[in-house]
């Protein structure tokens, strides 16, 4: 669909004139045999990690399908209590789920059809693999892992046990980005693509200096830390404090680049990058405890063009409309895309630009407006992502954000961090699972685990 400059493609009007299920036809897993999901038998669901996004994912699932929330696990008793109270209100049965502080105890019963993994990044591998081995299909938040070997083990487990694993890279289910892929990229409006840029300029790097304090009685800090290094306790690690430390994740690269690089690969049909290089560090925000890079550039090389990432957690964005975004440069025009909007700007001045707006569902889901900490712009995408996940379960097929694709995007970002740390480009061979010609880098594909936890690559 072409439009005059400034004209918005009105998705709300479209969805008022067509059924919601018809809108889902763009998602690969959807088919006629899966259209009865919303009226099917309730699936038994467990949640590991009842923090901000764990609960958010769970509520989106409850909104689109009949499920019974059976179990919730979190080492924070306050988080558990809040999740249980809301679950009792939101699910149709009004039952309150069982609670656990140890995910191994929760999974022992092997009575769950679906497990949502919303724990911090350093837990994703162990939680996901244990859920797979218990017989559940899994929805796991991104990035899938903290090191490359974890991701390999997760992929191996999913394939060995034949489980469906959807990763929370829900840009692939974002309505206006689905439109962009079809109407701009697949329609050939870009022509030959010669360069891709990705960026994040949000001031999202927590950088305080809180004092040490006793661990509160309601938090099992040993269990929260698990296989990661045990940092001295300086306050609740959630909501975003843990993300500011490399002990638990992969910095802004693993948190934000993974989304945009995954989106670029999806839109352009890209696999593993041929070579990865990165530079950066803590250049400006040196005063706090944070040890993640405040400035970083990474280049993912593909045949014919590069995908280049840049983030700064200080200063301003060069394009205020696109502070966290993806830019695809083609010979016939430029595509700008974000979670909030997208614009296609043709090279030919006589051609008409296209504008796409984020789609909201406030009228259909009024409870969104009162939900604590909800990302309103992401809610429709997550709902579609959950429906795609359920359809893949129904058909025993690969979902739109299958774990293999999540592994490629996550591992590529981890390798970018590794390149920055050791100061040289890396070529990763996914078949041999080595960094080609670089024994030191290959050894660093696996990070040490804290005793007594065992890395899944050595289990």
| Cα-based torsion angle of the residue sequence 363, 367, 371, 376 in order, rounded to the nearest 10 degrees | -20
DSSP per-residue string spanning 192-225: SEEEEEEEE---------PPP-PPPTTB-HHHHH
Q: Measured between alpha carbons, how far is 272 from 430 in angstroms, rounded to an integer?
A: 8
Contact 440, 459 (CB under 8 A): no
What is the per-residue pLDDT across 251-266, written as a single tens digit (0 to 9) for each? 999 999 999 999 999 9
Mean pLDDT over 299-321 rounds to: 98
The per-residue pLDDT for range 390-429, each reduced to its tens digit, is 999 999 999 999 999 999 999 999 999 999 999 999 999 9
Give the angle subtended at the CA of 32 by the CAs of 27 and 34, to the nearest 5°.
75
Task: Tell which wins on pLDDT, 6 or 89.
Answer: 89
The domain over range 172-207+215-227+234-366+402-443 is classified in CATH as 3.90.1150.10: no
The answer to whether the CB of 310 falls within 8 A of the CB of 245 is: no
**Chain segment 336-390, per-residue pLDDT in tens:** 999 999 999 999 999 999 999 999 998 899 999 998 889 999 999 999 999 999 9
Q: Looking up tokens 């400034």, which residue turns up?
A: 6
* Cα–Cα distance for residue pair 135/205, rounded to 1 Å: 37
Eight-class DSSP state of 139? E
Q: How far is CA 77 from CA 49, 214, 373, in A?
A: 11, 16, 19
Domain boundaries, the chain: 20-170, 172-207+215-227+234-366+402-443
* Residue whose entry in the numeric block shows the structure tokens 């490399």: 246
Question: Above pLDDT 70, what percent of the chain?
Answer: 91
CATH code, residues 20-170: 3.40.50.720
CA distances from 265 to 119, 179, 409 (A): 26, 16, 8
Distance, in Å, from the CA atom of 297 to the CA atom of 256, rounded to the nearest integer, reads 13
- Residues 311, 337: Cα–Cα separation, whole Å: 16
| H or E stretch at 24 | none
Q: Pull the structure tokens for residue 66.
A: 């009949």
pLDDT on residue 92? 84
Q: Do 59 and 86 meet the contact criterion of CB atoms below 8 Å apart?
A: yes
User: Is the pLDDT at 10 greater than 70, yes or no?
Assistant: no
Match 């910095």 to its residue by tokens. 251
* Strand ranges for 339-435 from DSSP E: 341-346, 354-357, 428-429, 434-435
CA distance 296 to 418: 12
Residues listed for the chain = 459
In Å, what is the CA distance from 313 to each residue of 179, 209, 284, 295, 407?
Answer: 30, 17, 9, 7, 26
Task: Let me know: does 117 contact 141? Beta carbons within 8 Å.
Answer: yes
CA 113 to CA 134: how far, in whole Å? 9
With a CB cutoff of 8 Å and minimum separation 6, the contacts of 298 are 253, 257, 276, 277, 278, 280, 308, 309, 310, 413, 416, 419, 420
Tell me the torsion sign for CA atoms 368, 371, 375, 378: negative
Distance CA 261, CA 238 (A): 26
The model's pLDDT over 193-235, given as tens digits with 9 standing for 90+, comes to: 999 999 999 999 999 999 999 999 999 999 999 999 999 999 9
- Topology agreement, domain 20-170 and domain 172-207+215-227+234-366+402-443: no
Q: Note the pTM of the prediction, 2 decimals.
A: 0.92
Instruction: Pinpoint the alpha helices (H) of 198-302.
Output: 221-225, 251-252, 258-268
Average pLDDT of span 162-166 = 98
Tokens 């960026």: give the residue.
199
């Amino acid at each position: 669909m072409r439009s005059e400059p400034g004209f918005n493609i009105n998705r709300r009007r479209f969805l008022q004139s067509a059924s919601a299920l018809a809108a889902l036809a763009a998602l690969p897993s959807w088919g006629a045999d899966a259209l009865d999901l919303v009226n099917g038998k309730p699936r038994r669901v467990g949640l590991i990690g009842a923090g901000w996004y764990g609960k958010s994912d769970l509520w989106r699932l409850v909104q689109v399908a009949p499920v019974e929330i059976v179990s919730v696990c979190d080492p924070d008793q306050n988080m558990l209590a809040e999740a249980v109270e809301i679950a009792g209100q939101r699910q149709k049965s009004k039952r309150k789920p069982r609670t656990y502080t140890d995910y191994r105890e929760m999974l022992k019963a092997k009575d769950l059809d679906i497990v949502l993994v919303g724990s911090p990044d350093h837990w994703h591998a162990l939680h996901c693999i244990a859920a797979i081995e218990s017989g559940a299909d899994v929805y796991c938040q991104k990035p899938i892992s903290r090191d490359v070997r974890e991701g390999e083990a997760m992929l191996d487990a999913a394939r060995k046990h034949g489980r469906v694993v959807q990763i929370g890279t829900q840009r692939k289910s974002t309505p206006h980005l689905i439109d962009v892929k079809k109407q701009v990229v697949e329609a050939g409006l870009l022509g030959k693509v010669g360069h891709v840029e990705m960026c994040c300029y949000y001031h999202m790097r927590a950088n305080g200096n809180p004092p040490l304090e006793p661990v509160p009685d309601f938090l099992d800090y040993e269990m929260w830390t698990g296989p990661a290094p045990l940092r001295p306790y300086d306050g609740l690690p959630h909501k975003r404090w843990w993300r500011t430390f490399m002990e638990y994740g992969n910095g802004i690269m693993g948190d934000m680049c993974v989304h945009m690089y995954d989106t670029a690969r999806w839109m352009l049909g890209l696999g593993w990058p041929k070579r990865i290089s990165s530079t950066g560090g803590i250049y400006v925000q040196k005063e706090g405890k944070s040890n993640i890079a405040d400035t970083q550039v990474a280049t993912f090389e593909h045949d014919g063009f590069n995908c280049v990432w840049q983030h700064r957690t200080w200063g301003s964005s060069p394009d205020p409309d696109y502070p966290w975004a993806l830019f695809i440069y083609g010979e016939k025009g430029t595509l700008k895309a974000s979670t909030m909007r997208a614009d296609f700007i043709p090279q030919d001045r006589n051609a008409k630009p296209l504008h796409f707006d984020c789609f909201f569902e406030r009228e259909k889901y009024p409870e969104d407006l009162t939900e604590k900490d909800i990302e309103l712009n992401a809610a429709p995408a997550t709902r579609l992502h959950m429906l795609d996940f359920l359809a893949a379960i129904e058909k025993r097929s690969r979902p739109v954000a299958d774990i293999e694709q999540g592994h490629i995007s996550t591992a590529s970002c981890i390798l970018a961090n590794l390149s920055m740390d050791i100061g040289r480009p890396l070529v990763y061979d996914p078949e041999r699972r080595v960094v080609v010609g670089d024994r030191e880098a290959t050894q660093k594909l696996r990070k040490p685990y804290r005793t007594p936890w065992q890395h899944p690559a050595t289990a």
